[in-house]
Structure 1
Amino acid sequence: MTSRAYHHGNLRRAVLDAAVEAVLDVGPSQLSLRDLARRAGVSHAAPAYHFGNKAGLLTSLAEEGFRMLADHLTEVLERTGSFLEVGVAYVHFAVEHRAHTLVMFRPDLYDSSRADVVQVRAAATEALTQGILTLPPDVVGPDPRVAAVAAWSLVHGFADLWLGGALGEADGGDLTASARAVARFLFDRGTPE
């Protein structure tokens, strides 16, 4: 058993935490339940007992990620009323919760039709869309859904580039300043810094 052995009653959490670690180490497609059991310090049967199989575990990880993202974006929007800050919050989430993000946007690896996943993914999409609706109509254009996809593409792509090391020197390596500048360029040019 490893020194990270779970505390009684927290086995599910221990396995999810081990999954986050494993996704960062080997990627979501290479993750194995046997390795997760070893990392969590539990029996080989424990992950299967709680999640069924690898897809079940990744489904739970995706659900958790979408829920955290929706809560985070909603809180930022309610606090600031600003798309710009919602975009920056998305980038920070993707960077700070890289393992979740790597799973969330790989629906080929998990059950994306499971009701709880559909619900929290819709909540995350709604939070981003509501952020778009804070912008002037001439910026949003005739279809807010197109603007929302453009915004999502921008912030998700920016986060991927940042995580890949392609943008580390932008704005002196300041993630927030870089994300804010890029979001402002596309959607919020009239807002003062």
Structure 2
Amino acid sequence: MPEPAADRPYHHGSLRTALLDAAERRLRDDGPDRLSLRDLAREVGVSHGAPRRHFADRQALLDALAESGFGRLEGALRDALDGAGDRFEPRLRAGAAAYARFATDNTSLLEVMYAGKHRPGADRILAAAAEPFGLLHALVAQGRDEGVLAGDDLDRTSTVLLATLQGIAALVNGGVVDPGQRDDLVEAAVDQFLHGAGPR
């Protein structure tokens, strides 16, 4: 017979991590609208008040998920770029594939990430988001330095790259495009990006 809520322990060895892990599972299954600190407390086996030691409210939990998500995206991009060698084009293809894979494997988390960074006062999320976006910007700068991309406006070129990848992810996540087509679409998009953003 399960313990009554009042009898559940308040302390948990790694409660913040356990709550974030449980919240991400709930995101995948139910989406962000059904996240509840009370339900998560029940799932990880602590009293209903225990999560408030780490998250003042549901929005604080969502913000922490967004921050963590951008950190994971940075790690995925960095691993892909580091594993692709030194030259720009293989790194671009690896980074583009890694972004699209993360964005389609973590649909609800990505929604929370992008929604969170546009809220007033979301300084920590913005700082976390700056890391993966900075990797993409540095990648475009490498393309310019190698003469593969035109160098007139790196910010615009980076934005076009991100928008292209995010657009593919949105089509897959929205059921418009079969997930099995994702990798081929990313390859085609990179080909077109290289052609369109190359030196005139």
TM norm structure 2: 0.78
1:123 to 119, 131, 138: 131
Alignment of 1:156-171 (within 5 A): 156-168=166-178
Contact 2:140/2:149 (<8 A) preserved: no
> CA–CA distance in 2 between the matches of 1:33 and 1:87?
35
Match of 2:110 in 1: 101
Report the alpha carbon displacement of residue 64 of structure 1 after superposing the two structures with TM: 0.8
Contact 2:12 2:46 in 1 (8 A): no
Point out 4+ residue stretches in structure 1 off by more than 6 angstroms.
none
Partners of 1:158 and 1:179 within 8 A in 2? yes
Deviation at 1:10, TM superposition (A): 2.4
Shift of 1:35: 2.2
Inter-partner Cα distance in structure 2 for 1:188 and 1:92: 23
- Deviation track 1:142-177 (CA, whole Å, cap 9, x = no partner) reads 1110011111111111111112221107xxx24323
TM-score of the aligned structures, taking structure 1 as reference length? 0.80
| Partner amino acid, structure 2, of 1:180 | E
**Structure 1 spans left out of the alignment, 5+ residues:** none
Residue 123 of structure 2: SS of its match in structure 1? coil
Correspondent of 1:186 among 188, 193, 198: 193
CA–CA separation in structure 1 for the residues paired with 2:115 and 2:56: 19
Gaps of 5+ in 2: 4-10
Pick closer, same or farther for the CA change 1:8–1:188 going to 2, 3 Å. Answer: farther
Distance 1:18 1:50 in 2: 14
More deviation, 174-183/85-94: 174-183
Identity %: 31
Alignment of 1:25-174 (within 5 A): 25-80=29-84, 81=86, 82-107=91-116, 112-114=122-124, 117-136=125-144, 137=147, 139-168=149-178, 173-174=180-181
Quote the residue 2:18 is aligned against. Answer: 14
Matching of residue 176 in structure 1 with residue 183 in structure 2 = yes
Shift in Å at residue 18 of structure 1? 1.6
Give, in angstroms, the shift of residue 74 of structure 1.
2.0
Aligned residues: 182
SS at match of 1:133: helix
Cα pair 2:24 2:109 within 8 Å, conserved? yes
Distance 2:101 2:55 in 1: 28
Give the greater-gyration-radius structure (CA).
Answer: 2
Distance apart, 1:94 and its partner CA: 1.1
